[in-house]
């Protein structure tokens, strides 16, 4: 069987996707540039675990280097399946370093699409984001909803990836699926996300900034559910007679209060949080909730992990990894 290419393989979701594929005896080629957006040691620790598998092969590569990506495709002409997860993440950071987003998310995505023109790709699955829904006030968010009111440059770049993918799919018959992820959390997570930030603050007796005075709700979705949905999608490419580009929501079909999320962490850790209620930040939205009807119908996606179970797993990993 041909290898699966996973970009962003040292990232949070990418690492877990690689682990899943390797456990089912797939050969995986991982790409990552190991940048310092957050602690590279965490990325290297994930990568070290992946490299214990004989069927994992790693290439350090920056996708914004289109010449290098083209050369990579020339060296690996038998890649038929791609899970493209590499991206510059984070809504708030896009206010500070916008060019990091155009470089990684737009140029990098275009480089992957150009590589797909060289390769015998049977399915390209790529990461989009719930951020594309922007100022949309209709809940739950549906893939049929308009997405022309972005709240951040990050959202703009992710929507651009969707449009580029539709175009390339149409022009060059590349079977492609974009997955709009909703607030993913779990072991090996990113340090810039809420579960990580809150856990660290509670354990270190630091203050937690809680935006919009705590009046926020999110589709917190556990990593195992996200991975299972991603792989189920990868295994279910568009039918030859159907449209070759699709979009799906991948998230919980219920939203959790941000304050409930914090209180659950307090209970698991056994310490009270020091909360600093603050105004909503530029680029943030008050509530997200996914309509996953289509996702469930087409490839059986159904998240199973509640926040009590998911946060328990996360805190256990955090304590073990950091020796706390």
Whether 124 maps to a domain, the answer reads: yes
Whether 215 maps to a domain, the answer reads: no
Mean pLDDT, rounded, for 15-27:
98
Of 240, 238, 129, nearest in space to 193 by CA: 129
94/75: higher pLDDT: 75
Whether 283 maps to a domain, the answer reads: no
DSSP character string of 273-284: -EEEE-PPPTT-
- Would you say residue 15 has pLDDT above 90? yes
Catalytic residue at 154?
yes
- Would you say residue 105 has pLDDT above 80? yes
- Give the pair of three-digit tokens for residue 59: 């290439």
Whether 9 maps to a domain, the answer reads: yes
> For the chain, what is the domain count?
1
How many other CB atoms are there within 10 angstroms of residue 170's CB atom? 13
Q: Mind listing the pLDDT tens digit for each residue in 204-241?
A: 999 998 888 888 889 999 999 999 999 999 999 998 88
Average pLDDT, the chain: 95
Are the C-beta atoms of residues 244 and 174 closer than 8 Å to each other? yes
> 290 φ, ψ to 5°?
-95, 135
What CATH number does the domain containing 90 carry?
Answer: 3.40.50.720
Could you give the C-alpha distances from 320 to 188, 305, 313, 317, 324, in angstroms and in order?
11, 21, 11, 5, 7
Domain that holds residue 122: 4-182+223-252
How much is the pLDDT for 91? 84
Whether 49 maps to a domain, the answer reads: yes
Q: Mind listing the pLDDT tens digit for each residue in 49-79?
A: 999 999 999 999 999 999 999 999 999 999 9
Are the C-beta atoms of residues 105 and 88 closer than 8 Å to each other? yes
Whether 126 maps to a domain, the answer reads: yes
- Would you say residue 34 has pLDDT above 90? yes
How much is the pLDDT for 1? 80
Whether 191 maps to a domain, the answer reads: no
Using only the alpha carbons of the chain, give its radius of gyration. 19
How many other CB atoms are there within 10 angstroms of residue 179's CB atom? 26
How much is the pLDDT for 21? 98
Percentage of the residues of the chain whose pLDDT score is greater than 70? 100
How much is the pLDDT for 174? 96
Which H or E run contains 47?
Answer: helix 40-50
- Per the residue annotation, which of 126, 133, 154, 248 is the catalytic one? 154
236/285: higher pLDDT: 236
Whether 298 maps to a domain, the answer reads: no
Compute the half-sphere exposure of residue 142: CA atoms within 13 Å on the CB side of its CA. Answer: 6
Q: Mind listing the pLDDT tens digit for each residue in 153-178?
A: 999 999 999 999 999 999 999 999 99
């Amino acid at each position: 069987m041909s290898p699966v290419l996973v970009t962003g393989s040292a990232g949070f979701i990418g690492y877990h996707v690689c682990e899943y594929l390797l456990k089912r005896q797939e050969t995986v080629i991982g790409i990552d540039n190991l940048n310092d957006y957050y602690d590279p040691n965490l990325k290297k620790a994930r990568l070290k675990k992946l490299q214990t598998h004989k069927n994992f092969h790693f290439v350090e590569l920056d996708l914004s280097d289109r010449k290098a990506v083209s050369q990579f495709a020339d060296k690996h002409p038998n890649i038929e399946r791609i899970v493209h997860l590499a991206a510059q993440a984070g809504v708030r950071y896009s206010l500070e370093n916008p060019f990091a987003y155009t470089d990684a998310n737009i140029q990098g995505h275009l480089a992957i699409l150009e590589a797909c023109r060289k390769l015998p790709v049977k399915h390209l699955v790529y990461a989009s984001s719930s951020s594309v829904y922007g100022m949309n006030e209709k809940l739950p968010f549906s893939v049929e909803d308009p997405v022309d009111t972005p709240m951040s440059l990050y959202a703009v770049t992710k929507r651009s990836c969707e449009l580029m993918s539709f175009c390339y799919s149409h022009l060059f018959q590349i079977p492609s699926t974009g997955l709009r992820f909703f607030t993913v959390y779990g072991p090996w997570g990113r340090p810039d996300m809420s579960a990580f930030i809150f856990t660290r603050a509670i354990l270190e007796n630091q203050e937690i900034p809680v935006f919009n005075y705590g009046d926020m709700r999110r589709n917190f979705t556990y990593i195992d559910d996200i991975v299972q949905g991603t792989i189920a999608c990868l295994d279910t490419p568009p039918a030859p007679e159907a449209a070759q580009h699709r979009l799906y929501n991948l998230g919980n079909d219920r939203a959790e209060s941000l304050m409930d999320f914090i209180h659950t962490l307090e209970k698991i850790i056994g310490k009270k949080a020091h909360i600093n209620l603050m105004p909503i930040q530029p680029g943030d939205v008050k509530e997200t909730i996914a309509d996953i009807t289509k996702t469930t119908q087409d490839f059986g996606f159904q998240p199973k992990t509640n926040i009590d179970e998911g946060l328990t797993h996360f805190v256990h990993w955090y304590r073990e990894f950091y020796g706390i």
